[in-house]
Structure 1
């Protein structure tokens, strides 16, 4: 998969702290392993916002699962499927993306 963006905005240089908590306003079913499935009503912890494409995609994890408790997985999703509920930290650190940002295991 080509890189979605060359840069991302994070709270810290490692993108290890969540920027905000968002709530899914609709279901999202990804087409490949770079993205995470999100179900309406789930809370999403957002760790990064991709730049250069109008913030179309964010990176985060869903806590818990529609299919029962599963380990949280980090991945991308369209920002349009969630609404911000709690701002946690400002996304002021610009970080270059690398091949691991878009790697599928």
Structure 2
């Protein structure tokens, strides 16, 4: 009887380990079904902005921003009344790490320089709101 219990315990442990590897990230609810970008891949920045205030997100879809940081905006979420943008924060906050791309409220930044017009409407997909 003890051998069978040990086998079930080991099997359960292996399943838990496997699920952690497979489910390390998760898809979060969409903030919008469409976004405005400069190109169909949203790979070119639309504008540069400077953070007016600190933003500390409670949600993995968003990026932290510190007052004064430069933010490169790549997309504006359309269905949310332009409340949220997607972009990349650069600067000493990340040190030697690569900059993260994520969402943030448009109200915490001020546009400093237009780079390209946001004229291409693109459907969002699950990767737009995926948390790793």
Using the TM superposition, name which of 69-78 and 12-21 deviates more.
69-78
Q: Tell me the equivalent position of 1:57.
A: 84
Distance 1:70 1:32 in 2: 21
Question: Higher relative CO (CA 8 A, sep ≥ 6), structure 1 or 2?
Answer: 1
For normalisation by structure 2, the TM-score amounts to 0.77
Bigger Rg, structure 1 or 2: 2
Greater helix fraction, Structure 1 or Structure 2: 2
- Runs of at least 4 residues of structure 1 off by over 6 A? none
Identify unmatched segments of 5+ residues in structure 2: 1-27
Distance apart, 1:53 and its partner CA: 1.4
Equivalenced residues, count: 105
Matches within 5 A, 1:30-69: 30-66=57-93, 68-69=95-96
Equivalent of 1:23 in 40, 50, 59: 50
Q: Is the Cα–Cα contact under 8 Å of residues 24 and 44 in structure 1 kept in the other structure? A: yes
Equivalent of 2:37 in 10, 16, 29: 10
Q: Is the Cα–Cα contact under 8 Å of residues 24 and 38 in structure 1 kept in the other structure? A: yes
> What RMSD in Å do the two structures reach over aligned CA positions?
1.0
Distance apart, 1:40 and its partner CA: 0.2
Partner SS state of residue 107, structure 2: helix
For normalisation by structure 1, the TM-score amounts to 0.96
